[in-house]
Amino acid sequence: MKWIVFAEDWNSHPSSTQHFFKRIVQNEPVIWMNSIGLRSPTWNHRDLSRLVQKAKSVVFKPQQFIKESHTAQSCYSINSKQIPWKEIQWRKTQDPIVIAPKALPFHQSALARRVNAYSLSKQINHQVSTQWAKSLPCGEGEKEEDTTILWLSLPSAVDMIGRCNEDLSIYYCGDDFSSLAGVDHSVIGKMEIELAEKCDLIFTASETLRHKFPAHKTHLLEHGVDYRLFQTPKPKPDNFPTGKVMGFYGQLADWVDIDLLIKLSETYPDWTIMLIGQIDTDTKSLLSRHNVKQLPPMSHPQLAAFAQHWDIALLPFKHCQQIHHCNPLKLREYLATGTPIVCTDFPAARPYQPHLTLVKQEDCFINKVNQTILSILLLDEAQQVKRKTAQQLSVYKSSWEQKVRTICHTINQHRRTPQPSNGPL
């Protein structure tokens, strides 16, 4: 199999698409087109900086993926058979071919869409002809490795369907774009409807997202977890605070309940409220609290080390449409650490209710935290080990490698099933 992927910038943040293709690229060639955006830019400092960064990436070669110490332990091809490394001849590294898109960020314009479709397909087909054509083995008849899959994680890439000489097109919906912050909702919503109609298969990250699309070609593909990384005990980081700690990592954005975090810091003045991640909302009042500690984004091995040593891991989300449809990666990562979890109630978290404390809309988050603290104190050492082990085992079978197997199985099943005709012969 050969893969052409339209998603966010490669190595920009550990999204589910990045996790899938970190593993797929171990054995199969991947061309990765960096983000073409989900909204038109405005004249603020952040957007202008982003435009400059994108312009530089077109002029200079995009940074290749920096290998981390926790790379995939095993590799799977599209037919779930492992390929010896010595047989892979298509390039010298296990990184994708990363392309900086030459595209106009004006998706509401029909003319811009036509220009982008032409420009992006030209970039893709140039890489196919110069990289894949020379490196993949030749032979008579169609081979499994000759099949090209077009994978789209952004609705704004809909116009690429049919322009990449693909054999199969897949839309992976990892977010509810109709409520996601920083998106032209009306424009992207229409593009998503068009994409759902045109593509061959759809994968969604949550059950609530699955119901948005045609049932006959939509499959649930929940997020995985790097289980070994988050489960394996790690030493406490040097800069870990003393005393009791509640922690959260991830983007501090509008869907995180900042007021609730302030109340937690007031209710538990002897605890440290540790926050790790990028700040994209007003946190001035929160960060002014004496017992609130904020750290910048960090690598997954570092996150695992911090989360393992928290006394309580928090998912303090607001009750909103975006959270209702989401399936955050950190949920399974928290579970794999074995750290007690207090979590806003949303559909993707409910299957794990025996292993975490869900806070419904009518509940008081503070009271649920109190109950969690008391329950921890009432358990003896053997019961603590039993609780932690059961929590970790709840995501044992949710590895990213297993999710890749699910993708492979679904694609092979689709290819073996006769598809309905689009019209009379």
* pLDDT for the residue numbered 68: 36
Neighbour count for residue 413 (Cβ, 10 Å): 11
pTM of the model as a whole: 0.82
The one-character DSSP state at 240 is: P
pLDDT single digits (tens) 224-239 = 999 999 999 999 999 9
Q: Is residue 49 predicted with pLDDT exceeding 70?
A: no
Q: Is residue 404 predicted with pLDDT exceeding 90?
A: yes
Q: Is residue 73 predicted with pLDDT exceeding 50?
A: no
165 and 147 Cβ atoms separated by less than 8 Å: no
DSSP per-residue letters across 11-52: TSS--HHHHHHHHHTTTS-EEEEPP--SS---SSHHHHHHHH
Q: Is residue 217 predicted with pLDDT exceeding 70?
A: yes
CA 376, chain centre distance (Å): 31
**Torsion angle of the four alpha carbons 116, 119, 123, 125, in this order, in degrees rounded to the nearest 10:** 100
- Kindly report the backbone phi and psi dihedral angles of residue 59, in degrees, each rounded to the nearest multiple of 5, phi listed first: -75, -45
The proportion of the chain whose per-residue pLDDT surpasses 90, expressed as a percent, equals 71
Residues near 343 by beta carbon (within 8 Å), at least 6 away in sequence: 314, 315, 331, 349, 356, 357, 358, 359
pLDDT, the chain, mean: 85
Name the β-bridge partners of 312: 246
Please, how many CA atoms are within 13 Å of residue 66, restricted to the half-sphere of its CB?
A: 6
* pLDDT for the residue numbered 281: 93
* pLDDT for the residue numbered 108: 86
Average pLDDT of span 399-406: 96
* pLDDT for the residue numbered 293: 97
pLDDT confidence band for 179 (50 / 70 / 90): confident
pLDDT confidence band for 67 (50 / 70 / 90): very low
Token look-up 């040097």 returns: 238
Q: Is residue 95 predicted with pLDDT exceeding 80?
A: yes
Among 65-79, 91-105, 266-280, the minimum mean pLDDT is found in 65-79
Q: Is residue 43 predicted with pLDDT exceeding 60?
A: no
Token look-up 């490698």 returns: 401
Q: Is residue 98 predicted with pLDDT exceeding 90?
A: yes
Average pLDDT of span 382-397: 96
pLDDT single digits (tens) 276-333 = 999 999 999 999 999 999 999 999 999 999 999 999 999 999 998 889 998 999 999 9
Average pLDDT of span 331-340: 98
* pLDDT for the residue numbered 106: 85
* pLDDT for the residue numbered 39: 52
316 and 341 Cβ atoms separated by less than 8 Å: no
Q: Is residue 240 predicted with pLDDT exceeding 60?
A: yes
Q: Is residue 81 predicted with pLDDT exceeding 90?
A: no
